[in-house]
């Protein structure tokens, strides 16, 4: 199906749309979500000219990179994991199946290559008026910040060159997460095993103060476990903290 405003419908169930160019897939999906959308409706675009990152950053896009957004209902009752971690789980399982276990999660939203320690992808979750969430996923085959370098492409383990495979597979995994077929224990153990910066000291900001702690692991409900520095033992990173910084020697 082809329609000027909806682009090309790659598959109907769940709906996946393909655009050749867009300002931001988040904006596009937000606009479409003014009418009822099926859970898991997704869009990807060959070009994204005003992509958004966190917090309020621009997200640069080179041709061939993945820019996709998925519409999900508000985190359903009983689902303990936030969408950001379920999206990270979906992306990591797809990359591992295709490329191998070469990627990890930098809590809570970033996908890194474990060999180079470079960021190759990010997840941006935006709430849409209490009706649902827009889950934006950017993955770099080529890193816009590194000339000829970085990205998810590993020599000898190429990804299919077509632009459809990754969005189809990631959307499939997101639907599995939505269906509740997977136990939370399974998702938690998978992500905890791929958590980066374990044992490292990190800082973060809370209202009125900067805090510091040592990363211990991922908790069963998807929270970050840290060793505090004020004699309080193990602490949990507040869910309102969207970014941590590693302290380097
Ligand atoms: C981050 O800052 O790490 C999150 C980046 C999220 C980028 C993706 S690309 C597809 C979607 N559309 C956007 O405008 N942003 C997200």
pLDDT in tens, 151-169: 887 777 777 778 999 999 9
What's the pLDDT score for residue 243?
Answer: 87
Above 70 in pLDDT, residue 186?
A: yes
107-124 pLDDT, tens per residue? 999 999 998 888 999 999
- Ligand 1 center–CA 249 separation, angstroms: 30
The CATH class of 2-193 is alpha beta
| C-alpha 234 – ligand 1 centre gap (Å) | 32
Q: What is the pLDDT of residue 249?
A: 61
Q: What is the pLDDT of residue 3?
A: 62
What's the confidence (pLDDT) of residue 148?
Answer: 61
Position 2 pLDDT exceeds 60 = no
- Output the CA 216–ligand 1 centroid distance in Å: 28
**pLDDT tens per residue across span 72-95:** 987 767 677 889 999 999 999 999
Nearest CA to ligand 1 atom 11: 136
Is the pLDDT at 60 greater than 80, yes or no?
Answer: yes
Q: Which residues contact 15 (CB under 8 A, 6 or more apart)?
A: 9, 37, 38, 40, 41, 42
- For the CA of 109, the nearest atom of ligand 1: 3
Residue 205 backbone zone (phi > 0: left; psi -120 to 50: alpha; other: beta)? beta
pLDDT for residue 4 is more than 70 = no
What's the CA gap between 20 and 22, in Å, rounded? 7
Q: Evaluate if pTM is beyond 0.85.
A: yes
- For residue 223, the model assigns a pLDDT of 93
Q: pLDDT by residue (tens digit) across 196-243?
A: 999 999 999 998 999 999 999 999 989 999 999 988 899 999 888 888
Higher pLDDT, 5 or 140: 140
Pocket of ligand 1 (CB under 6 A): 24-26, 51-54, 57, 59, 67-69, 109-110, 122-124, 136-138
Distance CA 218, CA 199 (A): 12
The yes-or-no verdict on residue 17 having pLDDT over 60 is: yes
Beta pairing, strands 51-52 & 42-48: unpaired
Atom from ligand 1 closest to the CA of residue 24: 14
Q: Tell me if residue 228 falls in helix, strand or coil.
A: strand
């Amino acid at each position: 199906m082809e329609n000027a405003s909806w682009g090309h419908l790659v598959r109907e169930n769940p709906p996946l749309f393909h655009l050749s160019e867009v300002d931001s897939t988040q904006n596009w999906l937000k606009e479409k979500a003014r009418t009822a959308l099926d859970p898991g409706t997704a869009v990807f675009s060959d070009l994204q000219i005003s992509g958004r990152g966190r917090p309020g950053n621009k997200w640069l896009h080179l041709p061939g990179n993945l820019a996709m957004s998925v519409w999900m209902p508000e985190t359903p009752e009983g689902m303990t994991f936030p969408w950001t971690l379920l999206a990270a789980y979906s992306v990591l399982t797809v990359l591992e199946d295709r490329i191998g276990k070469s990627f990890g999660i930098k809590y809570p939203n970033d996908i890194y290559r474990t060999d180079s320690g470079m960021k190759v992808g990010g997840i941006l979750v935006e709430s849409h008026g209490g009706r649902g969430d827009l889950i934006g996923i950017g993955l770099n085959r080529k890193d816009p910040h590194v000339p000829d370098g970085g990205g998810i492409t590993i020599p000898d383990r190429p990804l299919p060159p077509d632009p459809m495979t990754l969005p189809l597979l990631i959307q499939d995994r997101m639907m599995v997460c939505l269906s509740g077929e997977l136990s939370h224990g399974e998702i938690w153990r998978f992500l905890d095993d791929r958590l980066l910066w374990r044992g490292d000291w990190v800082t973060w900001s809370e209202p009125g103060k900067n805090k510091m702690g040592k990363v211990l692991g991922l908790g069963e409900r998807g929270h970050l476990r840290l060793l505090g520095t004020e004699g309080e033992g193990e602490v949990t990173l507040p869910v309102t903290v969207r970014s941590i910084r590693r302290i380097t020697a």
